Structure 1
Amino acid sequence: MRSPHTLGVAVAVSMTLFVADAAAQSRPLPPGSEPISSVEVTAPARSVRIYQKDLDAVSGTYAMSNGWRLQVTPAPGGVSAKIGRDRPMRLVALSPDKYATRDGNVTMEFNRGSSGDDMVMSYVPDRRLAQVIVVKATLAQR
């Protein structure tokens, strides 16, 4: 059985270590230095209920302004988008006309333009850079 004195010493030592650790973390940075790292939190794209007629309205092959061909097909809760021979991307429905990858790095807005056959895709080419590429496309075939 431990004596009350031993327990008191253990609590005092634990509190001293806790306070020392907290003080070490709250010290200001030396002049001219910057934080070593940062954290960016992005909420995952949230899907909405989507109907087959909405998926059919955006499905098809799109001729993109940069020369790529984009194939969009219905998928559970959204669409699957494939550019050339790349792996298909899964995008969830944010609305009947807007879809995004779960990480938010790729978004597609359909039914744009005067005829409703245009689409705009934006994507982040490299997560390490603050850059977004926007590519426009026109429906080539359904």
Structure 2
Amino acid sequence: MRISSVLLPAALLLFASTSGAQTMPYPQADTVPVTTVVVSATATPYRIKQEQSRHIAGTYELTNGWRMKVRTGTRTIDTTIDKQKPMRLLAVAPYKFASGDGRVTMEFNRGDVGDDMIMTYAPDPRFADMVVISSSVAQR
């Protein structure tokens, strides 16, 4: 007898809560049209000028304790972090470089005197997280 006296009010509350949910308005549809993003490479890589090469080449102390050496070419830079394999990045704009797969980008000539750089990279291609590391030039 006690169970039925508790069950009946609980059932009534459950039915009352679901009936109220049906009268609530639906969320408004997004009225802004969906746009698409198209990423395409330039026909020819950007050429690194001598002045830019002087600003870029050197050894950098990264904020996480790594040391990175940068050597410049005419259209690419080769970077070596600590004793890891060298990475080749393509010039995509003045002082901006990207790896072939787009997972690593570097931007140089930052800061008040142009001695700072910032590197972003995706540590794991399965995830959408990005790591951002900044640096000042240690030596040229």
**TM-score of the superposition, structure 1-length normalised?**
0.66
Q: Give structure 1 stretches of 5+ with no counterpart.
A: 1-40
1: CA distance, partners of 2:104 / 2:82: 16
Which of 99, 102, 105 is residue 104 of structure 1 equivalent to?
A: 102
Q: Give RMSD over aligned pairs.
A: 1.8
Which of 80, 83, 87 is residue 81 of structure 2 equivalent to?
A: 83
After TM superposition, the structure 1 = structure 2 runs for residues 39-58 of structure 1, keeping only pairs within 5 Å, are 43=40, 47-58=45-56
1: CA distance, partners of 2:81 / 2:40: 26
CA contact (8 A) 1:79 1:90 kept: yes
SS of 1:54 mapped into structure 2: helix
Q: Deviations over 1:9-57 (max 9, x none)?
A: xxxxxxxxxxxxxxxxxxxxxxxxxxxxxxxx97568621222332222
TM-aligned CA deviation for residue 78 of structure 1: 1.4
TM-aligned CA deviation for residue 75 of structure 1: 2.5
Match of 1:126 in 2: 124
Q: Which structure has the greater CA radius of gyration? A: 2
SS of 2:59 mapped into structure 1: strand
Match of 2:3 in 1: none
1: CA distance, partners of 2:73 / 2:85: 15
Q: Give structure 2 stretches of 5+ with no counterpart.
A: 1-37
1: CA distance, partners of 2:136 / 2:88: 20
Aligned residues: 102
Which of 66, 69, 86 is residue 68 of structure 1 equivalent to?
A: 66
Runs of 4+ in 1 over 4 A off after TM superposition: 41-46
Identity %: 44
Q: Deviations over 1:63-106 (max 9, x none)?
A: 00000001000134110011000010000101221011111110
SS of 2:68 mapped into structure 1: strand
Change (3 A) 1:127 1:139: same
2: CA distance, partners of 1:88 / 1:94: 19
